[in-house]
């Protein structure tokens, strides 16, 4: 198998270029159909995320596509020049390509190591390629092995257990200590920052659906509310929204607190002692720190969350050697199985090739010895079988050993020439 990956990621390539190259689901399907027309004998899977664009290809014979052809294909989907993107692309081939895919699927190559979204994205990309029939038996085996490696890392290490993004720590690490469920909670989002919206995404994943969005720019609040199936609330109704809220995410660009202790005192009387979780993501802070001293008020700022993120990241780093060892094991296992399957036809031809002369010589001998009993004849047959197996054992054993080490191609070619085997 000739496997390679050509692509770019957040490690070396600026966001501006990744944005130009990335494709949506419909565009990916169209690209894969175009690939099949141009390279009908080459399997392909196209992985596009916000942090990477990678083209995985596999073929039975070497030669296609070259990195330049892959760059031309990726650039052509966006009417770019191949020369513009080629310097920013990396290429991994054979074992390095397998190890790279396994590392990506296991989330060791992610911007946030251990994040869980990439495995779903790898799986979705593979399924799209399967639906478009651009992924054949070679990439089927490769991606199935990658998913197996990812399952092992998830099951045998604690890499995914420690949340390391501000949003995931806020909801999974802090809000979960206060609320057992979110589907019955009123969530108020103040502002429209990227981090605040990401936190809202986590809350929606946890089941929250009663969402009020407040922004000084009311049309902006309306756009965000439409995107998240929430309700836009005017800035003048901030106090009323806080009075009924269970969980608040705030990230405005205000230079002064938008809620002071005095203002919150009036809001607090309308809450009747119900607990309130406030996630203040603004710099400077939107809520006065003094508000967090009030009973049943749980106020967290960015510093609180980032310290938890740093601790969790350190815990994840301690899990990296175990995860990397699993990737090495699964890479060796996959390549060994793959090369062993590739050696199968050679082994079968060797056995078949030796079977005919053995039978011819056996029959010639038995024909000359017609007086032998059936028992003697059977003993001679077994002797011929044992001799053939002993003669075949060294080359077959060497081929099996080399195949598991991934170095069987040279030996297979030598055996094919020595024994005049067909392709």
Task: Give me 386's structure tokens.
Answer: 């044992």
Give Cβ neighbours of residue 350 (< 8 Å, ≥ 6 apart): 392, 395, 396, 415, 419, 421
Q: For every one of its 423 residues, what pLDDT tens digit does the chain have, with 9 covering 90 and above?
A: 689 999 999 888 888 888 889 898 999 999 999 999 999 999 999 999 878 999 999 987 776 688 899 999 999 888 889 998 999 999 999 899 999 999 999 999 987 788 777 898 999 999 999 999 999 989 999 999 999 999 999 999 988 776 667 777 788 778 888 898 999 999 999 987 677 788 888 888 889 999 999 999 999 899 989 988 899 999 999 999 999 999 999 989 888 999 999 999 999 999 999 999 999 988 889 999 999 999 999 999 888 877 777 777 788 788 899 999 999 999 988 988 777 666 556 666 777 777 788 888 888 898 889 888 999 989 998 998 888 888 877 877 777 666 655 555 666 677 677 766 665
Nearest to 206 by CA among 235, 238, 249, 155: 249
pTM: 0.63
pLDDT at 342: 60
Which residue is catalytic, options 48, 50, 106, 309?
50
Per DSSP bridges, beta strands 2-9 and 52-59 are antiparallel
Our answer to whether residue 50 is catalytic in this structure is yes
User: How many CB atoms lie under 10 A from the CB of residue 247?
Assistant: 25
CA distances from 112 to 16, 162, 258 (A): 20, 11, 32
Task: Quote the crossing angle between the two packed helices 25-38 and 117-131, to the nearest 10°.
Answer: 50
Domains and CATH numbers, the chain: 2-156 (3.30.460.30), 181-302 (3.40.50.720), 336-418 (no CATH)
DSSP state of 169: I
* Residue 25 parent element (H or E): helix 25-38
pLDDT at 278: 95
Q: Are 109 and 101 in contact (CB under 8 A)?
A: no
Signed CA dihedral, 190, 195, 200, 203: sign only: negative
* Residue 270 parent element (H or E): none
Task: Give me 46's structure tokens.
Answer: 């196209």
Mapping DSSP onto H, E and C, the string for 62-89 reads: CCCCCHHHHHHHHHHCCCCCHHHHHHHC
Tell me how far apart the alpha carbons of residues 376 and 382 are, in angstroms, rounded to a whole number. 10
Tell me how far apart the alpha carbons of residues 200 and 206 are, in angstroms, rounded to a whole number. 10
CA distances from 134 to 30, 43, 46, 72, 196 (A): 11, 5, 10, 18, 39
Tell me how far apart the alpha carbons of residues 404 and 339 are, in angstroms, rounded to a whole number. 7
Tell me how far apart the alpha carbons of residues 138 and 334 are, in angstroms, rounded to a whole number. 11
Catalogue the E-assigned strands of 203-331.
210-214, 231-233, 247-250, 276-280, 297-301
Q: How far, rounded to the nearest angstrom, does the alpha carbon of residue 151 sit from its chain's CA centroid?
A: 11
pLDDT at 419: 67
Q: How far, rounded to the nearest angstrom, does the alpha carbon of residue 116 sit from its chain's CA centroid?
A: 8
Per DSSP bridges, beta strands 52-59 and 43-48 are antiparallel
| 123, 319, 201, 294: CA torsion to nearest 10 | 170
Burial of 368 (0-12, 13-18, 19+ CB in 10 A): exposed
Give Cβ neighbours of residue 95 (< 8 Å, ≥ 6 apart): 331, 335, 406
Q: Please report the DSSP string for 3-19 in residue order.
A: EEEEEEETTTS-HHHHH
pLDDT at 340: 64
């Amino acid at each position: 198998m000739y496997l390679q990956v050509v692509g770019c990621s957040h490690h070396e390539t600026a966001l501006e270029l990744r944005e130009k190259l990335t494709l949506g689901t419909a565009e990916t399907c169209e690209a894969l159909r175009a690939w099949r027309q141009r390279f009908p004998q080459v399997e392909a899977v196209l992985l596009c995320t916000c942090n990477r664009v990678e083209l995985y290809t596999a073929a039975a014979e070497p030669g296609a596509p070259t990195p330049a052809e892959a760059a031309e294909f990726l650039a052509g989907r966006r009417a770019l020049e191949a020369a513009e993107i080629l310097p920013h692309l990396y290429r991994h081939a054979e074992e390095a390509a397998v190890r790279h895919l396994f590392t990506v699927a296991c989330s060791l190559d992610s911007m946030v190591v251990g994040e869980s979204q990439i495995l779903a994205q790898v799986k979705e990309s593979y399924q799209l390629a399967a639906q478009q029939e651009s992924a054949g038996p070679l990439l089927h085996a490769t991606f199935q092995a990658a998913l197996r490696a990812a399952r092992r890392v998830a099951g045998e290490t604690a890499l995914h257990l420690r949340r390391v993004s501000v949003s995931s720590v806020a909801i999974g690490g802090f809000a979960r200590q206060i609320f057992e469920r979110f589907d019955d909670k009123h969530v108020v989002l103040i502002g429209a920052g990227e981090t605040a919206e990401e936190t809202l995404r986590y809350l929606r994943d946890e089941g929250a659906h009663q969402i009020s969005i407040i922004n000084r720019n009311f049309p902006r609040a309306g756009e965000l509310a439409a995107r998240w199936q929430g309700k836009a609330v005017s800035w003048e109704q901030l106090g009323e929204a806080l009075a009924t809220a269970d969980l608040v995410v705030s990230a405005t660009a205000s230079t002064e607190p938008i809620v002071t202790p005095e203002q919150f005192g009036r809001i607090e009387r309308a809450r009747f002692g119900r607990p309130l979780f406030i996630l203040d993501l603004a710099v400077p802070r939107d809520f006065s720190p003094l508000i967090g001293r009030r009973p049943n008020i749980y106020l967290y700022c960015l510093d609180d969350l980032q310290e938890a993120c740093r601790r969790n990241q350190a815990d994840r780093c301690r899990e990296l050697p175990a995860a990397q060892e699993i990737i090495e094991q699964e890479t060796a296992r996959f390549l060994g199985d793959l090369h062993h399957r590739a050696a199968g036809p050679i082994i079968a031809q060797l056995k078949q090739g030796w079977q005919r002369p053995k039978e011819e010589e056996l029959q010639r001998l038995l024909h000359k010895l017609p007086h032998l009993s059936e028992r003697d004849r059977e003993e001679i047959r077994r002797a011929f079988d044992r001799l053939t197996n002993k003669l075949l054992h060294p080359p077959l054993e060497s081929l099996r050993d080399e195949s598991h080490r991934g170095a069987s191609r040279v030996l297979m070619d030598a055996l094919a020439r020595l024994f005049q085997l067909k392709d």
